[in-house]
Structure 1
């Protein structure tokens, strides 16, 4: 299936990112470095899109860290910071009872669950309410991608990026959980393939 060009942006850094904590669907704000990353992404998009920037659709996860990233980059592009859409299907993967913990905490507290996750990163679902596997995340993200009518700037999360890579055929389910998803850069997915800018 041919899809319109997608300019995917992972939200800027939060204090929990800096501490290595699983944020999942917790609503954490950007830290100063994250705000600077968002402004830098705006500059990258200005370079990539030029005068076309105002012609694209802009879509974000509704969490605070993604909205702040979107509003900052739109400001850099000279666009109304608030004139974009949100979609709750783009929120980060739910880590359930693991949210707020580090991987080291989890490994030490429950080595069996940690090992199970490492055996099947795509299919593993953590314990607790709201938890999801990457497979479940893909099921809610794919319809968003299928509904894009034209070139789009999307601001979401690392887990969502991994689902997007699988949905667009740029990673397998075995590869995607191991892919680095960068903050402060743009993942371009278009007819030429995919690349980080």
Structure 2
């Protein structure tokens, strides 16, 4: 198991005194094609299912007694399937977990289903505005990262204790900003790995895979 630790300024009270294990869903065919998924319900591909099982093994090494953790997922199918697979890997009942719509991916609105090269041709001005301020930019019919942080912070505050959170790349970026003080500009562009666990505790985080 590989671990990378990164210290950040202390986070908000919602995350203090707990360990939260953030997991991005496994790979989908739209990930491979570079298409913006957002709220589109795209299933895992074969590699994505392998990555989900890998996450279960990493969690087992990190925690040991995984039965005492809370488990909550985005309701989108790629996250739900990832959670079911990792729980099966941990010898836990596959479907015994909660879901929370506040952990769904950042909405890209009318941009969803398109690739960045396609968008640069079809909405050049919009993409340019996003490039200038990716944290505050709101795609047509979608959300900004500021919007995302507001709902993610509320979802995290409602977690009862140490928990595994299976979600999406945008949500992980928002959580690292809210809980570990990652600067907005850095968080907006952070590549969030699949098949890895982002452990947040005490205002800092580490990545294990």
What TM-score do the two structures reach when normalised by structure 2? 0.90
Q: State yes or no: 1:166 paired with 2:177.
A: yes
Report the secondary structure of 2:106's partner residue.
coil
- In the alignment, is the contact (CA less than 8 A) between 1:11 and 1:65 conserved in 2? yes
- 1:97 aligned residue: 110
- In the alignment, is the contact (CA less than 8 A) between 2:28 and 2:44 conserved in 1? yes
Deviations 1:104-155 (A, max 9, x none): 1111222111100000100000113xx1001001111111111222100000
For residues 41-52 of structure 1, the aligned pairs below 5 Å read 41-50=55-64, 52=65
Q: Gapped runs of 5+ residues in structure 1?
A: none
Q: State yes or no: 1:142 paired with 2:156.
A: no
Per mean C-alpha deviation after superposition, the further-off stretch among 96-105 and 144-153 is: 144-153
What TM-score do the two structures reach when normalised by structure 1? 0.96
> Distance in 2 between the 1:153 and 1:170 partners?
20
- In the alignment, is the contact (CA less than 8 A) between 2:180 and 2:204 conserved in 1? no
Task: Choose which of 114, 117, 120 in structure 1 pairs with 2:133.
Answer: 120
Q: Gapped runs of 5+ residues in structure 2?
A: 1-12
Q: Runs of at least 4 residues of structure 1 off by over 3 A?
A: none
- 1:68 aligned residue: 81
Query: Which structure carries more relative contact order (alpha carbon 8 Å, separation 6+)?
Result: 2
Pairwise CA RMSD: 1.0
> Distance in 1 between the 2:195 and 2:123 partners?
33
Task: Choose which of 32, 38, 54 in structure 2 pairs with 1:40.
Answer: 54
